[in-house]
Amino acid sequence: MTQTKGLEGIVAATSKISSIIDGQLTYGGYTIDDLAEHATFEEIVFLLWNDRLPKQEELDQLAKALVDEAHVDDAVLETLKKAPKTANAMAAIRTAVSQLALYDEASEDMSREANYAKAIKLQAQIATLVTAYARIKKGLEPVAPKAGLSYAANFLYMLNGEEPTEVAEKAFNQALVLHADHELNASTFTARVCVATLSDIYSGVTAAMGALKGPLHGGANEAVMKMLVEIGSVEKVEEYVHNKIENKEKIMGFGHRVYKDGDPRAKHLQEMSRQLTAQIGEPQWYEMSIKIDEIMQAEKGLKPNVDFYSASTYHALGLDTELFTPIFAVSRMSGWLAHILEQYSDNRLIRPRADYIGETHRTYVSINER
């Protein structure tokens, strides 16, 4: 057997959902640059789940459903309210996502129609859970979505209790588009492995959230923001970064196993960071990021990935650092669900082998002779 650590370079599935070819990310054949510039997140959801962009009537129906299906059972919200104040946000929301299955009578219905309906519910409800958790932690009551607002605008509305500015809505929509799918990343592969056993869709996305929680996947932008706060000013960047490099410590938000010439999503988030930090009068977060970027490229030959500039972008939108990874889940839910539906449509149990490197030819020795 040929062994590849971390399955690097191994093709484990065929898919129509997204591709990364020659450093270019596409969703269903549309480049990420094209979609980030022009598409709404609702259009992306439809594209990922149906392999085509929606017509106006279809888009309107989906947008309405994402508002109509956002209600979460009070028992699930009660779980969030009872979570310890010290709980990890992703752990709390992952638990709530799993609990959603208990209040869905169709949770075990494996028909295509039922799973598509559950996909809409999950995409709607993840926004409710994240915003509700954020408000509960501040002693506030959850806010229901408002009909007529986009998915991006409704998320910010449910989070803050007021409608966002046009600039904030556009920036958040673009962030959702950029994070929606990324081929067989760790959380998506986890989701597919889970549902390949013919486990239910709720189990699949819960498993994916567990994988996303890790700092080498979804948690990287949290680490980036904590680093920026620790540095404090542009003047301190050079010393900080060089000390990290000399001590062989990792600077989060740089490099990517798939992209060798830079993450194509990063430039969009970089521009968002520039605009939003200037708008709120805190350009230092962008300026520090730029300085770190320049040093890392010059010293290590590493370019920023999607997590690096998303940190200062989310901060400028007024989002708490602990929400960065849950917000990643809000967007990536669309991709997870697309891959789960695709896995169900042509399923085969995913069962790789391991290259055994332990001892051999041992014989049992009774305990009094050991």
- pLDDT tens digit string along 97-132? 999 999 999 999 999 999 999 999 999 999 999 999
pLDDT of residue 257: 62
pLDDT of residue 280: 93
pLDDT of residue 220: 82
Query: Active site residue: 179, 256, 315, 339, which one?
Result: 256
pLDDT tens for 184-194 read 999 999 999 99
Cα separation, 286 vs 292, in Å, equals: 10
Catalytic, 256? Answer: yes
- Its pTM surpasses 0.85: yes
pLDDT tens for 33-73 read 999 999 999 999 999 999 999 999 999 999 999 999 999 99
| pLDDT, average across residues 336-351 | 97
Q: Which domains, ranges and CATH numbers included, belong to the chain?
A: 14-214+323-345 (1.10.580.10), 220-316 (1.10.230.10)
Cα dihedral 291, 292, 295, 296 in deg (nearest 10)? -150
Say if residue 298's pLDDT is above 90. yes
pLDDT-based confidence at residue 3 (cuts at 50, 70, 90): low
What percent of the chain stands above pLDDT 70? Answer: 95
pLDDT-based confidence at residue 142 (cuts at 50, 70, 90): very high
Among the listed ranges 68-82, 157-171, 254-268, 328-342, which one has the minimum average pLDDT value?
254-268
Say if residue 32's pLDDT is above 80. yes
pLDDT of residue 233: 95
Helices and strands (DSSP H and E) totals, the chain:
16, 3
- Three-state DSSP at 160 gives helix
pLDDT-based confidence at residue 238 (cuts at 50, 70, 90): very high
| pLDDT, average across residues 317-322 | 92
Among the listed ranges 56-70, 244-258, 330-344, which one has the minimum average pLDDT value?
244-258
Q: DSSP class of residue 321? A: G
Say if residue 7's pLDDT is above 80. no
For residues 261 and 25, the answer to whether their CB atoms sit within 8 Å is no
For residues 83 and 92, the answer to whether their CB atoms sit within 8 Å is yes
Average pLDDT over the chain, rounded to whole? 93
Catalytic, 51? Answer: no
Of residues 22, 268, 286, the one with CA closest to residue 294: 286
For residues 192 and 13, the answer to whether their CB atoms sit within 8 Å is yes
- And the tokens for 213? 């929680």
pLDDT of residue 258: 66
- Residues near 152 by beta carbon (within 8 Å), at least 6 away in sequence: 40, 41, 164, 169, 170, 172, 173, 176
pLDDT of residue 12: 75
- Amino acid of residue 332: R
Cα separation, 50 vs 45, in Å, equals: 9
Cα separation, 310 vs 294, in Å, equals: 17
For residues 47 and 30, the answer to whether their CB atoms sit within 8 Å is yes
| pLDDT, average across residues 231-238 | 95
pLDDT of residue 21: 86
What percent of the chain stands above pLDDT 90? Answer: 83
Query: Active site residue: 104, 181, 293, 307, which one?
Result: 307
pLDDT of residue 295: 95
